[in-house]
Structure 1
Amino acid sequence: MPDKTSKRLDRLQIMLTQEELEALDNWRFQVRMPSRSAAVRELLRRGLAAEGYYSQAKSGSASSDFGVLDSRRGPED
């Protein structure tokens, strides 16, 4: 997997069922990912890491790094 400084040069097209797309969107909004692509990349990283094919330490970023809102700040901040 590329590090944070690598450019995304390869395109991957996937087909999803309506149920898979809804699950992806529900997860994406719950963790505040900015796009479906970012959500898919994060889920791929997590799945590969869970299977031992990718080290989370290599990614250099957490899903919260992709969030639109800062979850550490309250509504009054």
Structure 2
Amino acid sequence: MNDYFALLVFEDTSKYGVEMSEKLEAVLLSDYNAFTIFENLTPGRQRSIIYLIGRYKSSQLRIYKLLIITENIKRGITDQKL
């Protein structure tokens, strides 16, 4: 039995290694302090926040959590449990 498959490998050219939601981008762009702090986080922490926000399906809940997260990173809280 000979099975064949094709494998396509390509370089990830996204800025954070994962696609950022439009809502997260809009919130960060509207709050310069939060954006600056977010940019200074390690790439792993940035991806963790992006993944965390992506978990929520409800648009209203996603915005609520985004506001909490941006306030927390401005306070210096960078724990993944934000």
TM-score (norm 2): 0.33
Q: Report which structure shows greater RCO (CA 8 Å, sep ≥6).
A: 1
TM-score (norm 1): 0.34
Instruction: Pick the structure with more helix per residue.
Output: 2
Larger radius of gyration: 2
